[in-house]
Chains A and B, each alone.
Chain A
């Protein structure tokens, strides 16, 4: 039972354009969501998070949108840069506990930025 789903295994975007990565979840108890970025042979790196009390959180080129009624979130990267090429994982937890959360991850989306 995949509680966090990333239905697009891969995505290619032209450099300078917007990249939009999508994530859906089924567990209505999830109320804290995170995006991680992973380069080959490295561990995932935290990118951005959002609490369920918000519908948007922005950090530089990265914005995460949350639609709680649709159980959907998305990560927007504007403008996309070659260094953004990586696998992006969506993750969720049932509460924010200052880094002590057990996370449920999606299967990842491989983003390729075309120069």
Chain B
């Protein structure tokens, strides 16, 4: 597709429920990032993939958070046993690994997760 696609756009989960958030990056983009944006804050880094390899997961807030990108394209962020503090917009971004130019990440529109 032309841009980064995230689904669902909105998700309401009951506390304790597991959720899965999907990201379709731009075709051919090597790098994929997940960020979490709480209300009134800037995005905060969660994890980074280069192709299927998860090279950095230092931002994942707890072991309830898990991300995968098994075939180097679509990625899923899974949150187990959701808590109210997990309520946020989850942003996915992708980028080509291109030594000739740099235009920053391309972000998706995000998934707004509300835990009730």
Contacts and interface: CB of A to CB of B under 8 A. Distances in A.
B42 A100 contact: no
B56 A98 contact: no
Interface string A27-46: 00000001010000111111
A89 interface: yes
Nearest to B98: A98
Interface stretch (B11-19, B61-69, B70-78, B104-112): B104-112
Contact of B42 (A45, A49, A102, A105): A105
Given A36-B104, A41-B109, A43-B110, A102 B45 contact: yes
A85 interface: no
Given A43-B91, A43-B108, A4 B42 contact: yes
A49 B102 contact: yes
How large, as a class, is the contact surface on chain B? Answer: 20 to 34
Nearest to A87: B42
Contacts of A99: 31, 95-98, 102-105
Given A43-B93, A98-B97, A100-B95, A49 B43 contact: no
Interface string B75-105: 0000000000000000101011111001111
A47 B104 CA distance: 8
Contact of A107 (B4, B42, B45, B95): B42
Q: Which of A41, A43, A46, A107 has the most CB of B within 10 A?
A: A43
